[in-house]
């Protein structure tokens, strides 16, 4: 008997307050609750128009996974994903450093390049098979590190002319 899938509950995320009606048609998500993981199945386009919904979806998923569960984000049904949406996922993984985040994409070539180039692999592990991810045991939490911080130039140093 597989204890990792002993309790499976499917939940479709509702529309959020103030959200235009067509946003939920452009990007949707289902959350599957398992004994060892929360699986977030995402469908559609995650772009500038749908980014607010994406952030709400992520916040809900991280809240559900906060009890020590792994969060698996399945992006196989995502047709477009902006760089900003990937960064939002990584930032939330940093904020919730006790939640191990795995991303599933059967053909991850572009996603893999973005995660690697942006230095986000420490928080987002990429996999090509959902079953393999769910069956793995949990790893220790990752260290917290700030990414994408803006640094003001030093105005106290005189320039030489």
Q: Please report, for the chain, the start and end positions of each structural domain, with discontinuous segments joined by +.
A: 28-135
Residue 53, Cβ density class (10 Å: 0-12 exposed, 13-18 middle, ≥19 buried) = buried
Query: For residues 11 and 78, which has the higher predicted lDDT (pLDDT)?
Result: 78
Query: Position of tokens 């760089």?
Result: 83
CATH of 28-135 among 3.30.750.24, 3.40.720.10, 3.30.70.20, 1.10.3720.10: 3.30.750.24
Q: Per residue in 97-128, pLDDT tens? A: 889 999 999 887 788 888 888 889 888 989 99
Q: Per residue in 58-104, pLDDT tens? A: 999 999 998 788 999 999 999 999 999 999 999 999 999 889 999 99
Other C-beta atoms within 10 Å of 96: how many?
20
């Amino acid at each position: 008997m597989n204890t990792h899938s002993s309790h499976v509950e499917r939940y479709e995320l509702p529309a959020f307050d103030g959200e235009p009606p067509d946003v939920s048609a452009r990007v949707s998500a289902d959350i599957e609750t398992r004994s060892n993981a929360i699986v977030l199945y995402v469908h559609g386009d995650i772009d500038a128009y749908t980014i607010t919904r994406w952030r709400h979806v992520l916040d809900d998923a991280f809240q559900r996974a906060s009890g020590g569960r792994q969060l698996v984000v399945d992006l196989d049904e995502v047709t477009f994903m902006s760089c900003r949406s990937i960064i939002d996922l990584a930032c939330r993984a940093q904020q919730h450093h006790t939640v191990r985040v795995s991303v599933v994409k059967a053909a991850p070539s572009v996603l893999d390049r973005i995660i690697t180039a942006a230095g986000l692999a420490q928080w987002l592990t990429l996999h090509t098979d959902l079953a393999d991810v769910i069956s793995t045991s949990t790893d220790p939490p990752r260290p917290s590190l700030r990414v994408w911080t803006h640094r003001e130039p030093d105005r106290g140093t005189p320039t030489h002319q």
